[in-house]
Structures are given as C-alpha cells and as structure tokens.
Amino acid sequence: MRSFMNFFNRINLILHSIRFRLALWFVFILAVLLIVFSSLLFYMQIQELRAETLIRLESKLENIEKAFGTDTVNPQGFPIITNDDDTSFQNKDVFALYYPDGSLQKIWGPFTEIISLDFSRISSGDERDPLIELLTLSGANGQIQYIFKIVPLYSGEALTGYLALGTPLDPRGQLERLLVTLVILIGSTLLISFAGGFWLADRAMRPVKTIAAKARSISETDLSQRFNLPKKDEIGQLAETFDSMLARLESAFARQRQFTADASHELRTPLTIVNLETTRALSVPRPAKEYQRALQIIQSENELMSHLVNDMLTLARMDAHHEVLHREPLDLSDLALDVVERLIPLAARQEIKLETGELPEVLILGDRQSLTQMLTNLVENAIKYTAQNGPDQMRRVLVETGTHLTRTLGWVRVTDTGPGIPGEHLDHLFDRFYRVDASRARSEDISDDESSPAGSGLGLAIVEGIAQLHSGSIEVNSEPEKGTIFEIVFPLYVKPATSSSTR
C-alpha cells in the first residue's frame, strides 16, 4: 500500500513537473502543425482524385457514346464492358437511366438500391456544376464515395430522361492508405518527440534539481555555502543570484549576531555595576550618605541603560522601516539654531564655546524630530570629545549651514577642535557599537571615571540612518590633535510651482 502511494506520488510529481508540461506543450504544438499539414495534404489528394475521376468519367461517357454510335442510348441492351482500360465501363461503375421526372428507369452496376440524384439543380442554375454529383453509397465493403456525371437526354427539343454514370472516387483505396500512413506517422512522430522533449527538458532542468537539493541543505546557521554553478546560462544566472542573496543574508545574519552580542555586552556592564552597588550597600548597615551614593550610581547606570535601549529601539525601527517620518519643508538652519541653543548650557559646563556660523535658509523636506536627534548626536559628540582637550587648548564647536552652488543641495556642518579621529577608524565610524578608543568604553572597573566620555557607539549609526532616510550623505574630515568636521548633505526642497493663470 505504501509503495503504491509512493508510486502514485511520483507520478503526481512528474505530471506536475515543468519538464512534463514543457514536453506536453511541445508535442501539442507539433500535433497542431502536423494535423494542419496532413489535412491539407489529404484535401489536395481528394481534389486530385476528384479531377482524375472526372476526366475518367468523361472518357467513359465518350466510349459509351461511341459504343452506341448514337446520341441517345438504348437502355435495354446496354452491354457491360469490363476490361482493364480505365476509360471503359468497369464492374464498380454505375450506369443508370432516369425518366424526365427524376424517377429511376433502369440501373446497371454493383448497387441494387435506388440511387436518387438531384436533377432539380440542372434547371435551377446552381453555382456548382449541376451535372456532377458526389454521393456516398454503402456497398458490400462499407461506404464508398462515388462521383456521378449526369447527361440530360433529348429527342429533338424534348427532354426524354437522364443518363447518369457513376464511378468510385478512389477505386484503388489511395485515400485510405494515405490516411493510415498519416495516422501512423503523426502518432509515432508525436510519441518520439514527447519522449525526446521530456528527455531534453529533464536535462535542462537537472541543475534546478541540484540547486533545490543544495538549497534544502542550507540552514540558517550555515549560510556560508554557495552553489558556485560554472554555467553561464539562465540557470547559472539564477544560481549566481542565489549566491549573492546568500552572501547578503550571511552578512546580515552576521551583523545581527554581532549586534545582539554587542548589545548584551553593553547592557551587562551597567547591570553588573547595579548588582555590585546593591550587594555592597546591603551587605552591612551603612551611613545614609553611602546609601545615597549607591542610589546615585544606580540611577546614573539606569539612565545609561535607558539611553542605550532607546538607541537600539531607534535603530531596530529604522531597520524594519517602521520609523514613521512626518516629512515637511524645514529650514535646516532653524533646526541647527534650536539644537545649539539647547546645548549651550551643556557646552558651557564643559567650558566649550558652542557657536553658530553662517545660517542661511536651507529648505529641505524632512522629519523635524529625527533631524533634531541627528544634529543633537553630532553636537553632543563634538562637545563630549572636545571636552577632552586640556585647558590650554582651543575648545570650540561651530555649527553652520549652507547651500551648494548648484542650488540643488544643502548642507549642515559641525566642526570641533577636539582630539580628531585617526584615519584608520574613519571607515568604521558609523558601524554600530564602534568606538575609536575601545578602552574608553565602559567597563565594570572604570565606573567612577566621570571624565571618560562613555558612549554606546550607536550615536553615529543613528546619524547615518537618519541621513539616509532623508536621502542625505555624510562626510567626515578629521585630523588628529586638530579636530573633526562632520558634514551632511541633503537634497534641497523644491517648492511645487504654483499654477499661475498666464493663459
């Protein structure tokens, strides 16, 4: 029963396979063509036979007239002439005489039944030759096609009756033989071409099977496998597309794994600190001041964690394209001014001069909230890292905007006099959790270091994400010990032309 089911499933699979359908289509088209051509051939053969038979009939009639030597025949004494001459009267031929009203007078030949011919057409002016009629008669060996030639008989002006001479259309059975030959030829051609077509389609589809088998063996944990098909045809292109898709998936999975690992690592540090602080505070009774200090540390770690989680959430939303942007025409200079005014107290606390440069109107189409976050991240970074400068060094952050000469692009630039970024880090600056000085990252044992600019390494990744969402591009120019310039370029907003009625 099971093997029967297997067999049934296999047959079902083959019937639904592309190779079967391809072969079937191929055979179907071939069958239509062959049938059309054969029908044409058959029709031409019939026409030829008909023409030949008519010529034969004419000669037979002439011979009969000669035999009687008169233009009216004597029906009583009609001799049957049977010799091998095609133009003589033969035993398959029918000879009949009719009265003027169309009723049969006498008949000679292999048929005893009454053969009724249509004489009315003779006088009705039918388009077809009224003196020729094609009839199917049933003889001893089945149906036979006959052609009759009718001769009206006159005595003087008066119609005395009709003479009809009929002969088989195909006395040697040529049509039947042609039909059998055609049927056998068409049948075997179709059978052979179906087998050939199926074989060819199977061969062409074999690489697809290989791809399917390999694709089944690729699991999400092992995306390093590739098809590497050496073919250059369509299947090769398909495999190549799969390979590049696998490469993209592999790197996306790797990034995802890295992100999860980095995120857990980032969260583990503040959680460990909170755990250590609470354990320390609760181990022995302590003065209120020490509890207060412990709670302050816990609070600051908590803030750090919420900041981190918020950043991660923003990035996750951007990745999933869930970040809802309320785009509206905005002046980038207004936004820059708002951000600078809000961060001046923070800069002042770090003894940094936060200033604005030229701020012309730079209209872009964007989301106010995310663009504000982007500028805040950049200015906060500039303040945070410039604050590392010694008291004798310059501590200045400049924010300015402008438009390119082409009037199609606008830019915002944040320039600082901070420690700068070594060239080898510039390519990775926007990677998630990437920090130039990894030792500056938070760790359990430097929690007390207030001056350390502890960051999550997500700030610039968010900046880049927001810029991309606004079709913007970022450029960083940095020189160690001198400072850093972040410039983001956006396409300018073009006001829709107001339809002035100039007509």
Distance in Å, CB of 10 to ligand ADP, minimum: 58
Rounded CA gap, 441 and 304, in Å?
13
Residue at token pair 């583990």? 268
Distance in Å, CB of 266 to ligand ADP, minimum: 10
Distance in Å, CB of 420 to ligand ADP, minimum: 6
Distance in Å, CB of 16 to ligand ADP, minimum: 54
Whether residue 374 contacts residue 466, with contact meaning beta carbons closer than 8 Å, is answered with yes
Distance in Å, CB of 226 to ligand ADP, minimum: 33
CA 194 vs CA 186, 200, 430: distances in Å:
12, 10, 60
CA nearest neighbour of 463 among 398, 378, 385, 391: 378
Nearer to ligand ADP, 200 or 441 (CB): 441
Binding residues for ligand ADP, rule: CB under 6 A, are: 381-382, 385, 416, 418-419, 421, 429, 434-437, 455-461, 484
Whether residue 53 contacts residue 86, with contact meaning beta carbons closer than 8 Å, is answered with no
Distance in Å, CB of 434 to ligand ADP, minimum: 6
CA nearest neighbour of 336 among 405, 415, 394: 415
Distance in Å, CB of 440 to ligand ADP, minimum: 7
| H helix runs in 218-287, sequence order | 234-283
Nearer to ligand ADP, 242 or 434 (CB): 434
Nearer to ligand ADP, 240 or 437 (CB): 437
Distance in Å, CB of 393 to ligand ADP, minimum: 13
Rounded CA gap, 329 and 287, in Å?
57
Nearer to ligand ADP, 202 or 355 (CB): 355
Nearer to ligand ADP, 19 or 384 (CB): 384
3-state secondary structure of 70: coil
CA nearest neighbour of 109 among 92, 133, 89: 92
Would you tell me the crossing angle of helices 368-386 and 332-349 to the nearest 10 degrees? 30
Question: Amino acid identity, residue 77?
Answer: G
- Six-digit token pair at 223? 């995306």
Distance in Å, CB of 364 to ligand ADP, minimum: 22
227: Cβ contacts below 8 Å, ≥ 6 apart:
210, 211, 214, 239, 240, 242, 243
Rounded CA gap, 104 and 425, in Å?
116
Distance in Å, CB of 373 to ligand ADP, minimum: 12
Number of H helices, E strands in the chain: 9, 12
CA nearest neighbour of 357 among 305, 400, 310, 294: 400
State which residue has the least CB distance to ligand ADP: 455
DSSP letter at 402? E
Nearer to ligand ADP, 45 or 356 (CB): 356
Nearer to ligand ADP, 60 or 435 (CB): 435
Nearer to ligand ADP, 447 or 484 (CB): 484
CA nearest neighbour of 475 among 407, 429, 424: 429
Nearer to ligand ADP, 149 or 435 (CB): 435
CA nearest neighbour of 107 among 125, 92, 122, 94: 94
Nearer to ligand ADP, 59 or 350 (CB): 350
Q: What angle do CA 32, 35, 36 make, to 5 degrees?
A: 85
Distance in Å, CB of 368 to ligand ADP, minimum: 21
* Long-range CB contacts for residues 101-104, cutoff 8 Å, separation at least 24: 102/162
| H helix runs in 77-173, sequence order | 120-124
